[in-house]
Amino acid sequence: MTTEWLIRFLVSITLIEMMMATGMGVRVHDLRSIGRNSALLMRAAIANYVWVPLVTTGLLLWVGSPPLICAGFLIVATCPGAAYGPPFTAMAGGNVTAAVGLMVILAASSTVFAPLLLRLLLPLMTESHTLQVDVLSMIVMLILSQLLPLFAGLALRHYHPALAARLKPPADVVSTGLNVCVLGLIVAVRFKMLAAIRLQAYLGMLALVVASMAGAWLLGQTGSENRKAMTFTTSVRNVAVALEIATTSFPASPAVTAVLVYGLFQTLLVAAGAFVWGRLIGC
């Protein structure tokens, strides 16, 4: 058993467990209410599948990052629907129900849109077009590891709410433990790469986070109670899914390191932004 195989295995198990736990915490009624809001869904689609990938591509081309680093950032950029979106929205005083609905819808839709976007954007990062993804196999992989566990959790919550309520807390604890194990293992294996990251890279990541939040806020409907939900579900990307794609498509490469570094950086920064927004700004 190699270290890379162990990383891929743990990432897959973590994603499956997280999606199952996420589904157990969501009511179908909440999804229906968000699904009927076509204007919100259209704005969220533009923010997550047009704006964030476009800004990421522009920053990468401007900086001139190595191809595999670019691949890692593009993978993160095309993977919305992170589980941190709703709690960050709550910290900022936003509509948590809308954030939960958007999180689930974006996570489900990324099963198809992320591979398609990567197929389109990755060749832009290298003249030789060597960075490619197998769209069909990636969609199948995400259906098995993301979509089906998510729907299984939703079904359990819908048909057996009492059982889902009992299983949800321990499932969240397991999710946390698995995430710590995955992140710790990748940090240990990629420590030299992580230590070599320059200040310029962090400034670029800061620009990407700020641009993601600003774009989502501007695309949100003025005066809507869902505006904060849109901002935070867009600005924090789904690192679990991104790691699954990176470790499968580009194992033992800087792409995995890029996903990990940006995932940690964006989570801490967006969490700080949500805290300041909710506690100090209060608007």
Q: What would the DSSP string read from start to end of 230-270? A: HHHHHHS--HHHHHHHHHHHSTTSHHHHHHHHHHHHHHHHH
Domain ranges of the chain: 3-274
Q: Give 116-130 as a DSSP string.
A: HHHHHHGGGG-TT--
DSSP secondary structure code for residue 253 in this structure:
S
Distance (Å, whole) CA 186 – CA 141: 21
pLDDT means per 10 residues, the chain with 283 residues, are 74 86 84 86 95 93 85 93 86 87 90 90 70 80 87 91 92 86 78 72 90 93 83 92 88 86 88 84 55
For the structural domain made of 3-274, what CATH number should be given?
Answer: 1.20.1530.20
In this structure, is the dihedral angle defined by the CA atoms of residues 215, 217, 221 and 222, taken in order, positive or negative?
Answer: negative
Which pLDDT does position 3 carry in this prediction? 74
Neighbours of 67 (CB within 10 A): 19
- Residue 178 is encoded by which pair of tokens? 């698995």
pTM: 0.85
